[in-house]
Each structure stands twice: as structure tokens, then as C-alpha cells.
Structure 1
């Protein structure tokens, strides 16, 4: 579901893009008739036809795209380096937009420095946002976060991790992006957030949290989920990156026939950044 490539053929009714054009595939294809789809939020469709999820995806030499509107021209962007934009790029871009302009002056706390965390950190520089404070248990990934532009990278296992985070932010914590989505990270975010703050949860690791209901109005906090992003947001992202360049996140390029090994490495936590499979 993270795919780029060159257009090699068009169906008889297809128009609006030329053969040979390098494009990123917007994989988030909805049913086209529900309320979400009519609002342009096909990623929230209840009966989706997602490429690479519900339909055959990019682990192949060719991929079928149902309409040219799901192909976004890359211009001069490297199609190999741009491949993660259709999911990890879009997912983090959409999540970052939910914080609004506050991130220009206020450091965001990012929980997790996997592929999404490093992507979010890199994108923040392209958006002219303040450098984030990243929280990550893995030493190598903390180092990668600093290289990607984080102002600090903190180990949540440290006994004084919460105070380290507050000190690194340097002002009340009003923005937390949870890219892990576990009981521990959600509870950490809730313990950090100050009055009027916002927590956006993207990660899907799993778990449960208990929140005293009065704390929500008394602290006036917002707890929000964010799932992928809309086709329009992907177009915005690609337009931004065609102007400012791709974020400098770690990429590990491998032949397509190494897909199984790449997935095994990912499952084992051995991947820093993203693996790119090349046919």
C-alpha cells in the first residue's frame, strides 16, 4: 500500500495523466457512495477497496489503479525515496495537521521513533515546525531521531523520563503524538499533557486506558485518533515535498524478492526507517 512507479498503460476511459509519468499511488480507495467518500474522506470508508489491503498492491511488477485521480505526479522527486509517502508520509502529515499552527512555536512530543516517528520528525522540518522531542526505547532509533531533526531523544525507561521530556519541551506540554498506541504510551501522554493540550493517537499496538471523566473538561484536553489521511491531504503533501524536497529519513532498499525477509526484519524490530522493495 506504499507504492510509486511509472504509468505504463491507460484504460480506454482513463485521462488526465500520461504514460511514462512517475506517480505515487493513493491506495485509499473508498466505495465512492458513502458519506465519508462524498466528503473526500475515502480513508474512512466502511466498505473500502484499499490498494494493497483489500485489493492487490505494490509487491509486484505492476499494480492496477482504478482511476487517474489516485495517481499523484511526483515531478522531480525520486520515486524510490518517495514510496513511503502514500502511507507513513500521509499518516504522519494528517496527524500533524490536527495540531494546527501551534507546532510552529511549541515542541511536539512524539512517542515512538519507528518508521512513522522518523517520518514525522523529518516532515516537521519541511513544515517549518519547531523541532520535536522524541521518546523511544531503542538506542539506535533515538540516534536516528536526532539525525532526522529531533531536539532531544529520551528513553521512557529512565526513572525521570517524564521530567526529562518536560525539561526538553521547555514550556507546558500541549501537544503529544502517540505513534505506538499502547497502554504505556497513552498513559505517558495523559500524564504529560497540560490544560488545553491535545493528544493525537495513531499507533495500533493495543491496550486499555482508564481516564477520570471530569479530567477531560477540567483540563480542557483533546484526545483524538488519526487514521491514515485523505487523498486531498496526500496531494497537499506531495505538493509540499516537490517544493521543499523529501525528508531525510533512513531507507533500506532491497530487491522485491526479499519481501519475506524484509517483513521478518520489520516484525523483529530490526528495521530503522523504512524498507523499499524494488522490482
Structure 2
């Protein structure tokens, strides 16, 4: 099979001919129809993330090994299966859950494999979907998608789950004011999910009027272009000078989080999602006196 692989960081992916894996036990071989491009794939290609003071946090220090076939947003059809697979058939259309753990740590034991101490995620720590085929360790990591287009479905295992987790962590209640920072792919998914499950008033913030227009079309009640107006003043005016009940920051850069911390109501929750990087200086007195939760 052919696979597009990161052989050396910051160099073009190489198309390599590899032997297609043969599934055994509970393993399933998926013929890839769609593989999304996530910003995390760019970080893998870059070889790291920006940390405090511009320091690069290397992917290899987190256990990533090259060469690597990236791609963790994968949908396709079942090509072949191990002898222990149950409930699936050849050519069945499926979405792959890529956040696979080692199965034994405390997170894995309660079903939170995405937070595993020794992750085995597809496309990050094991070869992923930028290939004709991908080997999934168990049929339990597959979801049947008979009526969904694979191009539309593939990002759901990453962007939708990430956004849903953020919305859940924000603990939104009806009539809460929630600020969603960043109206890109994740932010738009977060807006749709918050609208669907929370009953909160959604305020979208971005630097791009076109993105904010799409945010409004996808469920944002109010939008703020933080390049054209003072976002702190705007949020305080919209919330009767009380501040936001929650902020979900899909950018998570030093500048955006500094703003986040100035628009909070007492008891507010701040959920940091993006991987932009940088550092934050906190007013430690305000954390207990105003009962903020930083997640």
C-alpha cells in the first residue's frame, strides 16, 4: 500500500510503499476513503509546539517517533478483520476513534483513553490515515456510519469530540453567557454543540468578519471582532458589567487568554483548548476570591 509519511520534520511528506497490515484477533483493517487534516498534523510536521518564551516543546519528547504516517481523522470501509471481531462485516462504512490508550492506566479504566498516560493514538504514536489502509487495534474503536458521507464524518472523531468535551467542561446552563474564542473549524463546531445542548447565550469572538458571519449562521447569538473593537468593553456591556459565565478558548494564545481572564464573572469557567502556545501570568489573588475555574 502507499502511505504519505513524515520522514523528516519540516520536509515534504514522502509517498512510500509499505506492506498492508494483516489484522488478527480483534484488529480491523480499514480501507481509507477520507482523512482529515487537523492542525495537530501540522504540529507533528513542525516537530513541536511553541512553549513559554518561544521555547519549542518537541514532539519526540512526548514519545512521537518518525517516520510516521499521520492522520487521526479517518473514515472508510472495512477491508478485512481478525477472527475475534464481532458485529461488523466487510465493506461496512465506519468512522475510526483514534484516541487509543494502553488500556491499564486510571484514565483508560474509566473509558477516558484520550487521557491515557501512555497513549497509542493513531496518526500520532502509531501510523494513521494518510495511507490506503490503516490498522485499527480493535473493532471497539469503530462506529458505523451507513448514512453519512465519509468526507463529512472523518473530522467528527477529532473536532467534534474536542469541541463537545470543551462544552461539557464549561458546564453551561440555560441563559449563561458563554464566549467562544476563535471561529475556525473547532470554534464553529463548539458553537453548534453549545447551541444544541446548553441553552446558553453564545458570544463568538474572532478577528475575521467572514468567520464571524459564518458563526452567526451556525448559532452564535452575538459576535465581536476583537480587531475592530475592545473585546473586554464589549463583553462587559453585553453582560451588564457582570462578565461571562464561561469562556471556551479555541485559540489559546497568550493574548487571547489574557483577555479571557478579564471578562469573567465570579464563579466563571475558562476552558483552554487550542495549541497556539505561549505563557500566561495569573493574578493569583483573583483565582480564589472570584472562584474561577481554569480547565
Q: TM-score range by the shorter chain?
A: 0.7 to 0.9
Show the counterpart of 1:100: 171
Distance in 1 (alpha carbons) for counterparts of 2:245 and 2:201 = 14
Distance in 2 (alpha carbons) for counterparts of 1:97 and 1:21 = 31
Distance in 2 (alpha carbons) for counterparts of 1:70 and 1:221 = 36
Distance in 2 (alpha carbons) for counterparts of 1:154 and 1:11 = 52
Show the counterpart of 1:80: 151
Q: CA offsets, 1:229-259, max 9 Å, x none?
A: xxxxxxxxxxxxxxxxxxxxxxxxxxxxxxx
Show the counterpart of 1:242: none
Show the counterpart of 2:18: none
2:170/2:248 contact within 8 Å kept? no
Relative to structure 1, is the Cα distance of residues 129 and 207 closer, same or farther in structure 2, using a 3 angstrom cutoff? same
Q: What is the aligned counterpart of 1:90 among 151, 156, 161?
A: 161
Show the counterpart of 1:150: 220
Distance in 2 (alpha carbons) for counterparts of 1:198 and 1:130 = 14
Relative to structure 1, is the Cα distance of residues 128 and 173 closer, same or farther in structure 2, using a 3 angstrom cutoff? closer
Larger strand proportion of the pair: 2
Q: Which ranges of structure 1 fall in alignment gaps of 5 or more residues?
A: 225-279
1:166/1:172 contact within 8 Å kept? yes
Show the counterpart of 2:113: 42
Q: What is the aligned counterpart of 1:162 among 214, 218, 232?
A: 232
* Higher relative contact order (CA closer than 8 Å, sequence separation 6+): 1
Show the counterpart of 2:278: 207
Show the counterpart of 2:196: 126
Distance in 1 (alpha carbons) for counterparts of 2:84 and 2:155 = 29
Show the counterpart of 2:15: none
1:188 positional shift: 0.7
1:2/1:87 contact within 8 Å kept? yes
Show the counterpart of 2:211: 141
Q: What is the aligned counterpart of 2:82 among 4, 7, 11?
A: 11
Distance in 1 (alpha carbons) for counterparts of 2:227 and 2:249 = 16
SS of the equivalent of 1:100 reads coil
Q: Please, what TM-score do these two structures have when normalized by structure 2? A: 0.71
1:101 positional shift: 4.3
Q: Higher Cα Rg: structure 1 or 2?
A: 2
Q: CA RMSD in A?
A: 1.7
